A and B are shown apart, each in its own frame.
Chain A
Amino acid sequence: MAIEVQHLNVHIGDNHILKDVNLTLPERQITCIIGPSGCGKSTLLRTLNRLIDSTEGVKLDGKVLVDGEDIIGSGPEITELRRKIGLVSQRPCPLPMSIFDNVAYGCRINKMFKRRKSLIYAVQKNLMAVGLWQEVRGRVRTPAARLSIGQQQRLCLARSLAVAPQYILADEATSALDPISSKTVEDLFVSLKNEYTIIMVTHTLRQALRIADNVVFMYLGEIIEQGPADQVFNHPQQELTQKYLSGAFS
């Protein structure tokens, strides 16, 4: 198992956000985390790459094993951990630089290439991987902010892929996109799952149904049910899961 969460508790101030979370995230598959708003999906995701650290008053407790190494304790160097776990956020967030520099940013930060040619090749390869190369070739030196929202989100994905991560965290990565862009990004995730372990928070049950290999259902900071998508969607074991899937609450 690639990522294993054991008895994870997250407190922010006096609020107990995640309660004794135990979870296994299988390698090279898409795991969708579903649940109503405020159930702790995003907090869980932000804990996996320790972005949660920047939240005021946060207290972590338990174990998160990434490749067998606990990232909550002393663990590996945090910057290296974050390089290994890419993040695609809810709203596309292009850095204030050109399309090329956006994709090259992580490579430069992590000093991945000594030769400029290798960097150019890496940028091109990752823009191709997200299907953006044909659309932006010839204007890669223009500001990334000039791209459409859908293109920006794919650019952000290319930027994450450029640092050669093993895992991709996607926090409602298609919620700000139009249906066509959303479908493009969704298809991208499916095509990438052979190379990456993808953990995706989604609000859209249909999306989870379309692309998830595994599903984790959360409610009020607790994991209610987890398992293969087919099992969770078609034969939910818990009453809460059944109610959520039937639309009794959202």
Chain B
Amino acid sequence: MLGRRILKDRVAHGTMATLTVFVILMVLVMAVGLCLKSAPVLEGQSLWTLLGSSEWKPMKGQFGFLPFIMGTLWVTFLAVLIALPISLLTAIFLTEYARPVVRRFVFPALDILAALPSVIYGVWGMLVIVPWISERLAPHFVEFSSGYTVLAAGIVLGVMVIPLLVSLFIEVFSSVPMELREASIALGATRWQTTRKVVLRKTLPGVLAATVLAISRAMGETIAVLMVCGCVIGIPTSVLDSAYPIPALIANNYGEMLSMPLYESALMFAALILFAVVLIFNLISRIVLYRIERRDA
């Protein structure tokens, strides 16, 4: 009897360990696959030319990714700039101020928003945000704008990321023991002072981790951004310029261009850039989190 129990325990342990290794291997396989597929374009042009050039002439074999990298960064930065304060304050309201009955209504609504397919956000962007920028906002600043801009992509992406960020922040803030809040309130602190000086301070690593997760998600978002960013190759100089982020480049062109091996390789290299940027970004944030946690522990 004991032998069977131990056997079951070992089988469970072994299965889970194998599956964990498999998940990690998948990421490695993806990275290796992208590197191999990118090799042809790297043979033709140096890494720095690929990353630093704006020349995008696939027919001539010139692939400068700078406009796409900048497009990705512009849209992601703007989306996070919009989503971060709104999400942070919403999550603070829901965890620190709102009555439980409010939470009971808002939490399911947030889950629904988070589960909406991104194409719906894209359609909303095309029907509402793009015309609003084109007809109402842009005329104050430029002569003409189609509305398909960095701003439209940033707003749509920002709104998409908000439910995710709010949910993550709520999880993070809820992990703070009530006694800690009461310790501050009992000294005469207001709720806002307690939130700023105790709750946010205690949860800083969690807030950073959640933000990094949201940024990674925003960087990789494809469909909704593709529908409203304009997809014009060029480095944006303002939020009213069109952009062409990397995921949109890959989604728009892959499949069509399979007849040109070098173009396919270039698109794989674009995917590799995205992969590397997200990876580096996560690694940096891990280091920062580790330092903060070590400082406070």
Contacts and interface: CB of A to CB of B under 8 A. Distances in A.
A146 to B, nearest CB: 8
Nearest to B295: A143
A93 interface: yes
Given A82-B186, A156-B183, 15 more contacts: A56-B100, A80-B188, A82-B188, A83-B187, A89-B182, A91-B179, A95-B184, A106-B189, A109-B197, A110-B187, A143-B295, A145-B297, A160-B186, A160-B187, A163-B187
A105 B179 contact: no
Contacts, number: 74
A210 B100 CA distance: 43
A97 B201 contact: yes
26 contacts: A51-B182, A56-B99, A79-B190, A82-B185, A86-B187, A89-B179, A91-B179, A93-B180, A95-B184, A95-B197, A95-B198, A96-B202, A97-B201, A105-B184, A105-B187, A105-B189, A106-B189, A109-B184, A109-B193, A109-B197, A110-B188, A143-B296, A145-B296, A145-B297, A159-B183, A159-B187
A145 B202 CA distance: 12
Given A143-B295, A145-B296, A93 B177 contact: yes
Interface string A142-178: 0101100000000010011001000000000000000
A96 B185 contact: no
The 3 A-B residue pairs with the shortest CB-CB distance, nearest first, are A83-B188, A106-B187, A87-B186
B183 A95 contact: yes
A143 B187 CA distance: 19
A54 interface: yes
Nearest to B182: A51
Contacts of A97: 201
B188 A106 contact: yes
A49 interface: yes
Contacts of B99: 56
Interface string B79-113: 00000000000000000000110000000000000
Contact of A87 (B178, B180, B182, B198): B182
A105 B190 contact: no
Contacts of B183: 87, 89, 93, 95, 156, 159
Interface string A208-226: 0000000000000000000
B206 to A, nearest CB: 12
A108 B190 CA distance: 12
Contacts of B100: 56
B201 to A, nearest CB: 5
Interface in B246-292: none
Contact of B188 (A89, A96, A109, A145): A109
A32 B169 CA distance: 41
Nearest to B191: A54
B102 to A, nearest CB: 12
Given A95-B184, A96-B202, A145-B297, A109 B189 contact: yes
A56 B178 CA distance: 13
Contacts of A89: 179, 182-183
Residue from A96, A106, A163 having most chain B Cβ neighbours under 10 A: A96
A86 B186 contact: yes
Contacts of B184: 95, 105, 109
Nearest to B202: A96
A106 B297 CA distance: 22
Given A96-B201, A105-B197, A145-B296, A79 B182 contact: no
Contacts of B198: 95-96
B177 A163 contact: no
A215 B187 CA distance: 26
